[in-house]
Each structure stands twice: as C-alpha cells, then as structure tokens.
Amino acid sequence: MTKPFSQACENNRQPILAVLQYAFAQSRRVLEIGSGTGQHAVYFAKHLPHLQWHTSDQVQYHAGINQWLEDEPASNLHPPIIYQVGQDAFPISTVDAVFTANTAHIMQPQEVAMMMCQVAQALPQRGVFCQYGPFIQQGQFSSQSNHDFHHKLIAQGYGGYQDIATLQQWAPHLRLRNVHTMPANNLLLEWVKSSFS
C-alpha cells in the first residue's frame, strides 16, 4: 500500500510541538487517540524523548501508521492499539497524558462526550489532555471557512464542530487550563484532570 501522508500534519506539527513541550513536560506515558497517518506520532516521539508515545486508531489505519513507525523508529514509540471511541474500552489503564488531533469534528457528539468522559476517568490527578482541532468558542466560529466546513461535515454525516462550553459540560473533572490559538483557525485545548474543576 502507498504510505499515507497528510499535508496538514506537516503544517501543524511544529506549532503543536511547541505547546506539548511544556504541557507534557511532567508526563511520562501518552496515549494518542486517532493517530491517523502516524506522522504526528513519529515527529512528537522524536522531539519528546522523555515520553512513551502510544498510538491508537481504528484497525484500518494501522498499516499506514506502522509504515511510518517502521521508517522512523524510536525506542519510545509504540505500535497502534485498536481503539474506536464508542466501541472499545479505553485501551491503556496507566497513562498520565492524552493527545488527539482533528478527531472531535469527525465523531458524532455522543462519541465526543464518551471520549471526554473516558479520558477524564483514565487520567490521574494533574494528568493532561491536549486536544487539537477546530472548535466553536462562545457560540462563535473563528472564521467563515470554519462555519462553512462545519455545515459541510454535518451534511456528510459527521458530527461537526463542538463548542468548548459543551466539552466542559461533558467532562466536569477536566479543567480547561489553556486555549492556544493555532494556525489555520484551529485551537489546542489544554485540559488538566482535577476533582475540583
């Protein structure tokens, strides 16, 4: 098979890494939900050597992820785990960080709610969840293109963009520590596990 490639991953990996370098500074074991092509995983594992980076996705994406892992191996980079939110249990019992990129607007709302809940349950106190992608803030889209793409996704049967306030309601034990403005009208939401949110 042809090795999968995402130009978006190439474009956004450095801005995301700049946040992860301090957001995950005290973390040791990360689960990536929805590793996609595998490009983020190989890049972040290389530049965050203190982390054990565990990839995961639906089984049909594993071959592509493994191609990237084979071409750019790292001792702290782990092969993909089968994980589809809404169908599978959270795949790792001991993680102190979770990362996901461009997943929430593809999932159905109930799947996003389940992901937020599972992440909150899996993380220890002060565990960190970094969530990258396009979101709605205070009921507003960040651009007309985001508004248009949201409605296109809905028409195609996807869940569309989620409002950050709704995400907070779905995961009351995750405190939104920072909202980072990213390129291409995206955001990186930095959540921390807290029973006192």
Q: How far apart are CA 54 and CA 59, in angstroms?
A: 15
What tens digit of pLDDT does each residue of 96-116 get? 999 999 999 999 999 999 999
pTM for the whole structure: 0.96
Residue 167 has pLDDT above 50, yes or no: yes
Average pLDDT over residues 74-95: 95
Residue 162 has pLDDT above 70, yes or no: yes
For residue 125, count CB atoms less than 10 angstroms from its CB and return exposed for 0-12, middle for 13-18, buried for 19 or more: exposed
pLDDT band at residue 149 using 50, 70 and 90 as cut-offs: very high
Answer for the pair 132, 147: CB distance below 8 angstroms, yes or no: no
- CATH number for the region 7-193 comes to 3.40.50.150
The pLDDT value recorded for residue 197 is 44
